[in-house]
Amino acid sequence: MTTIVLALASVVVVSLVSLVGLATISMDEARLRRLAAVFISFAVGALLGDAFIHLIPQTFAPQAGSRTALQSSLLVLAGIMGFFIIEKLLLHRHGVLHEQFHGLGQIDRPELATINLLGDGIHNFIDGLMIGASYLVSPGIGLSTTIAVLFHEIPQELGDFGILIHSGLTIRTAVLLNLASASLAILGTGISLLAGAVALDGVTSALIPITAGGFVYLAAADLIPELQHDHSVRALTIQTVLISTGVAIMGLLTLVE
C-alpha cells in the first residue's frame, strides 16, 4: 500500500508541472531561453544519472531475473529505439528551444497543437509507466526516476505551453489541455501498478531496462542538442556544472535505496 501511495503521489506532482507555463507568460524571449536551458542541463544530468546509476545496474543485477546479459542489453536498446520510433511517427520533438523559438512561423496551425498534444500525451503516459515500474522495484529507485522525469518535464512543458499559445489557443484552454495531457501519466502509473500486482517480476524486469533506454534517448537525442546552440565558454561551464549536479543528485539518492 505504501508503494502505491508513493507512486501515485509522485506522478501527481509530475503532472502538476504542466502548470509551469503560467509562470512564463510575462517573461521575454531571452529570459525564457535562459530558464529553459538551465532546466534542460539539469534534465540531461538527471536522466543519464538515473539511467546509468540506478536503472541499468538494476537491470544487470543478479536478482533481476533469468535474462542473459545480451537480453538485458537488447531491452535497453529497445527503449532507445522505441522512443525514436514514437517520436518519428508522431512528429513530436522534445527540442524545446528549437520548437519554441525557431519555429514560430509555422505553429499558428490547429493541426500542430493536435500533434503536440497527442505526442505529449503518449510521452506522459510512458513517463507514468516508468514511475510505476520503478516504485515496484524499490522506493529509492522510484524517487530517483520521479526526479529525473520531473527535471525533463519542466523544459518540455515550457515548450509545449508555448506551442499551444502560439497555435492560437487561449491561455485558459492551453492550460487545461496541457494539464489533461499531463494527467495521462497518472493513468500510466496506475496501469503499471496494476500489472505489477499481477506479474511483479515480469513487468518490472522488462520495463526497467526499457525505461533506462528511453532516458538515454531523451537526454542524448533530444536535450543535449539543444545545449549546443550556445558555443560560448560561459555556456559550456554552466551547462557542465548543471549536468554534473543532476548526475550527483542521482548518485546521492543511492543512499536512500
Residue 21 resides in a domain: no
Residue 65: per-residue pLDDT: 59
Residues of the chain with pLDDT under 70: 1, 24-29, 32, 63-66, 90-116, 118-119, 155-156, 158-159, 162-163, 165-168, 197-204, 256-257
Residue 92 is assigned to a structural domain of this protein: yes
Flag whether 172 is in a domain.
yes
Note the pLDDT of residue 114.
67
- Length of the chain measured in residues: 257
Backbone angles phi and psi of 241, in degrees to 5 = -65, -45
Question: Which cell numbers hold the place of 215?
Answer: 532516458
The pLDDT score that the predictor gives to residue 256 is 61
85's CB contacts (< 8 A; 6+ apart) are: none
In a domain, 59, yes or no: yes
Domain span holding position 244? 2-16+29-256
What b/e readout covers 130-159, taking b as 16+ CB neighbours within 10 angstroms? Answer: bbbbbbbbbbbbbbbbbbbbbbbbbbbbbb
Do the domain assignments include residue 77? yes
**Residue 22 belongs to some domain of the structure:** no
pLDDT at res. 11: 93
Query: What local confidence, expressed as pLDDT, does residue 100 receive?
Result: 42
- CB-CB contact of 211 with 55 (8 Å): yes
Across the chain, mean pLDDT equals 78
Predicted confidence at residue 137, as pLDDT, reads: 80
Q: What are the φ/ψ torsions at residue 68 (nearest 5 degrees)? A: -80, 170
Is 72 a domain residue? yes
- For every residue of 103-137, DSSP letters joined together read -GGG--SHHHHHHHHHHHHHHHHHHHHHHHHHHHH
The CA–CA distances, whole Å, from 109 to 35, 95, 118, 123, 159 equal: 26, 19, 15, 22, 16
Backbone angles phi, psi at 134, to 5 degrees: -70, -40
Start-end of H helices in the chain: 2-16, 29-49, 56-59, 69-90, 96-101, 110-137, 139-166, 171-182, 184-217, 224-227, 233-252
Report the chain's C-alpha Rg in angstroms. 18
Residue 24 domain-assigned?
no
Per-residue confidence (pLDDT) for residue 212, from 0 to 100: 87
Report the pLDDT value the prediction gives residue 10, as an integer from 0 to 100.
Answer: 93
CB 224 within 8 A of CB 160: no
Write down the residue that cell numbers 523544459 correspond to: 155
pLDDT at position 5: 92
How many structural domains compose the chain?
1
